[in-house]
Amino acid sequence: MADDLLHKPCQTCGATLNYEPGATTLDCPYCGSQNDIAVPAAALARFELSPALGGASETDLPPERHISCPSCGAEAIMAPQVFARSCDFCETVLIDQDTKLRRFAPQGLLPFGVEEGQARERLRRWLRSLWFAPSSLARSARAKQRLRGVYVPYWCFDAMTKTDYRGERGTTHTVSRRVQVMKGGKSQWVSRSQQVTRWRPASGQVARRFRDLLVQADGGLKELEDRRFSSWDTDALEPFAPDYLAGYEARLYGLDLPQGWQAALRAMEGVIRGDIRHDIGGDKQRIHTLNTHHWDERFTLVLLPIWMSDYRFGGKDYHVVINGRTGEVRGQRPVAWWKVVVAALLVLGLVAAALLIAGASEGVSLTPPI
């Protein structure tokens, strides 16, 4: 059965292998290691990163393909980044098995846990909760919106890290300073407290183990630009099986493994900087240098379930995505500008009133501290 191809990655680098019927071993064309094809793939395989990083870039998208449905014979079009979808006529799952499309096949997936009806309800509540949204939005969006269930590719990384750093710890003190003020037309000296930070050198080492660091690997979905869900329950990842794809679309990665790893390194550095600040302690921290050693880096490719919603409002297209596990909604919100203007004027009015009251009581002029 051709489905097996999706389950036969190289045991060293994770590349999808094409094996000959009857052969018992196969050399990986990417890393050269010999694979025993009788060994079944482990549950949610994770692979060593370094042998997998070399080789040609995979950022070019495959062309649109035509495949015919094995059940009803109808012809279906696979958009460039799509590798699985349902037949328009009989709903059979169509999977494009061409291993030349991409070097790595998904190893794991989180099945959809939020059904379309629940996702629609979340979306409706989200639209209602928007402060500055036009009042007619919830109604009109509900009428037109169509949800599309998509399995989106994500790189999933594990790594150990150790980081040496140099920086400074700042301790803040409150000091009293003499300030000249005008009061009732007369100048007089009063005490004012001021914050002063003293900096001392700090250096040290922090260590962190990263597990299941996710990098969105699609690259081609407008809906997901600048969007991140707050969490994914990666502990529930299941080994990939084509059955899960029934009724949904599944996509190939457009961001290749080296690009995904670069994004992961940036994300890890952000977390490590937080660890360093915590390690430095004090009231404020400065980081001058940091040097991170990574080892035991592993990766796998997974598919995560996302509901996509595109709607038009006031002649513009808006994109909203809903986490297919948690129901979290992320998206663009149309704004009713008159509501924003009224709110801004209200705030400005309050600030102006506060300034008038403060200004009336005293005129302030700062002098050098004594």
**Angstrom distance (rounded) from CA 111 to CA 153:** 13
If one asks whether residue 90 binds Zn ion (CB under 5 A), the answer comes out as yes
Name the token pair of 70: 């094995």
Query: With respect to Zn ion, which residue has the nearer C-beta, 89 or 337?
Result: 89
If one asks whether residue 207 binds Zn ion (CB under 5 A), the answer comes out as no
If one asks whether residue 268 binds Zn ion (CB under 5 A), the answer comes out as no
Q: How far is the CB of 35 from Zn ion (least distance, A)?
A: 7
If one asks whether residue 92 binds Zn ion (CB under 5 A), the answer comes out as yes
Using the rule CB under 5 A, give the single segment among 26-34, 77-85, 192-200, 295-303 that binds Zn ion. Answer: 26-34
Query: With respect to Zn ion, which residue has the nearer C-beta, 99 or 292?
Result: 99
**Near Zn ion by CB under 5 A: residue from 87, 110, 150, 213:** 87
Residue 188 CA neighbour count, 13 Å, CB half = 7
If one asks whether residue 71 binds Zn ion (CB under 5 A), the answer comes out as yes
Name the token pair of 54: 């070399």
Q: How far is the CB of 127 from Zn ion (least distance, A)?
A: 35
If one asks whether residue 72 binds Zn ion (CB under 5 A), the answer comes out as yes
If one asks whether residue 30 binds Zn ion (CB under 5 A), the answer comes out as yes
Query: With respect to Zn ion, which residue has the nearer C-beta, 103 or 122?
Result: 103
- CA distances in angstroms from 211 to 103, 290, 298, 314, listed in the order given: 23, 21, 9, 44
Q: How far is the CB of 93 from Zn ion (least distance, A)?
A: 10
Query: With respect to Zn ion, which residue has the nearer C-beta, 90 or 236?
Result: 90
Q: How far is the CB of 10 from Zn ion (least distance, A)?
A: 3
Query: With respect to Zn ion, which residue has the nearer C-beta, 17 or 306?
Result: 17
Query: With respect to Zn ion, which residue has the nearer C-beta, 71 or 367?
Result: 71
Query: With respect to Zn ion, which residue has the nearer C-beta, 33 or 326?
Result: 33
Burial 116-130, CB ≥16 within 10 A → b, else e: beebbebbbebbeee
If one asks whether residue 28 binds Zn ion (CB under 5 A), the answer comes out as yes
Using the rule CB under 5 A, give the single segment among 4-12, 128-136, 218-226, 297-305 that binds Zn ion. Answer: 4-12
If one asks whether residue 69 binds Zn ion (CB under 5 A), the answer comes out as yes
If one asks whether residue 133 binds Zn ion (CB under 5 A), the answer comes out as no
User: What residues make contact with Zn ion under the rule CB under 5 A?
Assistant: 10, 12-13, 15, 28, 30-31, 69, 71-72, 74, 87, 89-90, 92
